[in-house]
Amino acid sequence: MGRLIKAEFRKILSTKLWWGLLIIALLVAGTWAGMLSSVFDDLAAELSRSEVMRLAGVRLNEISFSVLFLTRAINIATIFPMLFGGLAIASELGRKTITTSFLTAPNRAMLLGAKGITYAIWGAIYGIAIIGAATLGIVIGSGGDHLVGFSTWLAIAAAGVLSCVLWTLLGLGVGALIGSPVGTVIVLLVYGLALGPISDLVFTGMAGGDANVAGALPNGAANGLTGSTAADTLADEIQANATGMSKVSSELLEGFQDTARLAAGGLGSFGLLASAAIFFAWAMAFLALGLWRTQSRDIT
């Protein structure tokens, strides 16, 4: 197995796809986070007008709003590790290099296992790099205001890395299932950029902002994984900082949490652990389907 993983690393490093996608992912994460932080005023103003803030007398400056930008930047940048994973098997099938890969591995299951492990590691590499770029973008964009505490940052960073790993594996499964690189890229992009976010919006709109079916779909669950921590952190901070907390009804606070979750991009999600479990299940389901398909495919 170690030999096959080494071979997979050599495969990845001997072509340019990995850094091409990585550079774009870093640019997107960095600029997205930076832009959001610098137009922060608008968002902050809206939140400060909210009932909770007014009643609780929260002072906006003490709230670390930048968590929202961090998660948003992560969510958008996960597209790239997803595509990277999507091309893992699809491009080998498309270019027929899969023939030699199968012929030099003890059996298909071992090769696919080695691919899974290798791409999980690469998903983590993408995740760490994306979080670095997003954090840098926020520091530059916000000029150092409203930064999150280290432990919150760490929690979101961990969720972000996990999200990247799972998106990579989900992509890998989808690519193996579809079998053509072009088809895989189209399907993943259409889902990741359009279908996923739009269905999240529609379902959440229908549910009036409550947790709903959107949070059970891959995109919603993934956003919940990263967004929940941010939303909870904001809610906690408000509760802690609020001088007039007694005046904030639990109903109002819940409503605020939903708003914050929406701002963090985690529409209609079920909270951190549930989202993590749901997204994990989705990623594993697609991975298993893709590997099963590859296991039985005739290579002609």
Minimum CB–partner distance for residue 5 and another protein (Å): 9
Minimum CB–partner distance for residue 217 and another protein (Å): 34
**Contact with another protein (CB under 8 A): which of 151, 246, 250, 296?**
296
Instruction: Report d(CA 229, CA 271) in Å as an integer.
Output: 8
In the complex with another protein, which residue's Cβ is closer, 16 or 49?
16
Is position 285 an interface residue for another protein (rule: CB under 8 A)? no
Report the C-alpha dihedral over residues 196, 212, 265, 287, rounded to 10 degrees. -50
Assign 145 to helix, strand or coil: coil
- Cα 4 → chain centroid: 28
Is position 117 an interface residue for another protein (rule: CB under 8 A)? no
Is position 95 an interface residue for another protein (rule: CB under 8 A)? yes
Minimum CB–partner distance for residue 86 and another protein (Å): 16
Is position 151 an interface residue for another protein (rule: CB under 8 A)? no
Is position 10 an interface residue for another protein (rule: CB under 8 A)? yes
Residues 26-65 that bind another protein (CB under 8 A): none
In the complex with another protein, which residue's Cβ is closer, 59 or 96?
96
Binding-site size for another protein (CB under 8 A) equals 28
Is position 249 an interface residue for another protein (rule: CB under 8 A)? no
Instruction: Report d(CA 71, CA 266) in Å as an integer.
Output: 9
Is position 99 an interface residue for another protein (rule: CB under 8 A)? yes
Crossing angle of helices 250-264/218-241, nearest 10°? 130
Instruction: Report d(CA 241, CA 57) in Å as an integer.
Output: 9
Is position 108 an interface residue for another protein (rule: CB under 8 A)? yes
Instruction: Report d(CA 44, CA 64) in Å as an integer.
Output: 11
Side-chain-facing half-sphere of 125: CA atoms under 13 Å: 15
**Contact with another protein (CB under 8 A): which of 33, 67, 98, 125?**
98
DSSP 144: T
**Contact with another protein (CB under 8 A): which of 14, 151, 246, 250?**
14
End-to-end Cα, the chain, rounded Å: 26
Is position 96 an interface residue for another protein (rule: CB under 8 A)? yes
Closest CA to 142 of 32, 33, 30, 38: 38
Report the C-alpha dihedral over residues 32, 34, 38, 42, rounded to 10 degrees. 30
Per the structure block, which two tokens stand in for 293?
């398909």
Is position 6 an interface residue for another protein (rule: CB under 8 A)? yes
Minimum CB–partner distance for residue 4 and another protein (Å): 6
CA distances from 64 to 39, 61, 136, 265, 274 (A): 15, 8, 16, 16, 24
Per the structure block, which two tokens stand in for 212?
């709903």
**Contact with another protein (CB under 8 A): which of 45, 46, 100, 143?**
100
Specify the stretch interacting with another protein by CB under 8 A; choose among 6-14, 68-76, 190-198, 251-259: 6-14
Is position 102 an interface residue for another protein (rule: CB under 8 A)? yes
Is position 1 an interface residue for another protein (rule: CB under 8 A)? no
Which residues here bind another protein, judged by CB under 8 A? 3-4, 6-7, 10-11, 14-16, 92, 95-108, 296, 298-300
